[in-house]
Amino acid sequence: MEEEGLSPKKKIILLSGIAAAALIVVGALIGDPSVLGNFVILAIFAGVVPMVIYNYFQYLWLKAVEDHFPDFVRDLADSQRSGMSFPESLTLATKANYGKLTPLVKSMHNRLTWGVPMIRVLDIFHEQIKKSRIITEALLIVRESYQSGGNVAATLDAVSRDMVVLRETEAERSTMLRSQVMIMYGIFFMFMGIAIMVVYVMVPLIKATPGMDSTSNAGAPVGGASMVGFSFSDPCSGNTFFPCNYFSIIGVILGLTPGVSLYYISMFFTVVIIQAIFTGLIAGQIGQNSVTAGSKHMVLMVISSFAVFLFLAKAGVLPV
């Protein structure tokens, strides 16, 4: 049996951590702060994205198992109705094709041939798909029916019908809510656009000093004075604590010089990233009733945020 420490999930976590650490070390050895910042971003993606992809593919696998489970239960019911015992029905089911569910069905049959009790076989199967609420509830009903000696065929028929109805309802729900997912994307990109426009409007106003030329501006406060007499200085001037140290990293990544401009650009950049994370997760919950399914939306939105801000910074069009 495969050791727990060698499970695919553990391997992905270990390899992702090693890759992230290696990228940070390489960036540090190069010695260029801007290059180090970019390597830090790559390290974050290398450490997080593989696990997100793994969880998403696990979600797809589980959905595929759920799609074929009603057919499997219905075949078991037909075999039971013809007079076969439950183990014999399971043996016959191994000859059918249930997609992603087929290996699990064959594993159940193999355990029966090794002399494992039927109840124990069902319990092991339950452990393998315990993240599926629908199959878990169906298995509990089948297990109790088999253990109590009731009409197993009728129970299996009822479970199969209910699961088909639930599957059709879920598919109809996903179709109806697909437009809502698109609306979530629209909301996010609108939010990012507004944040960028605020940066373009606010930062020049903060840095402006109307009515003063370069010579008379010598005694003005750092960051300039507004038309109503308010002065703005860099909140992170002389401060190395959070969030100023975090904003400094963003400045290195985007290639921006320290100052009041960096403070506000970093603040809005962070707000957009937070919006991307939670909007993506909410989009998955709305569209597919799963936060895990929202990981793909989250990754797309976060990458879009980085790409837009990095492009604007490297193009030299951000107000600095």
Reduced to 3 DSSP states, what percent helix, strand and coil does the chain have, rounded to the nearest 5? 80, 0, 20
Q: What residue type is assigned to position 264 of the chain?
A: Y
pLDDT in tens, 158-188: 888 888 887 778 777 777 778 888 899 999 9
**What pLDDT, on a 0 to 100 scale, did the predictor assign at position 276?**
92
Give the SS3 label for residue 70. helix
Give the SS3 label for residue 231. strand
| Closest alpha carbon to 318 in 200, 164, 212 | 200
DSSP code, position 64: H
211 pLDDT higher than 70: no
d(CA 217, CA 222): 10
CA distances from 141 to 31, 88, 237, 246, 304 (A): 63, 20, 65, 53, 46
pLDDT in tens, 87-118: 788 888 888 888 888 899 888 888 888 888 88
The residue-averaged pLDDT of 128-134 equals 83
CB atoms within 10 A of CB 169: 10
Retrieve residue 289's tokens: 């009733």
d(CA 140, CA 133): 11
Retrieve residue 141's tokens: 């009903």
295 pLDDT higher than 70: yes
Retrieve residue 59's tokens: 């979600």
> Model's pTM, two decimal places?
0.63
d(CA 162, CA 130): 19
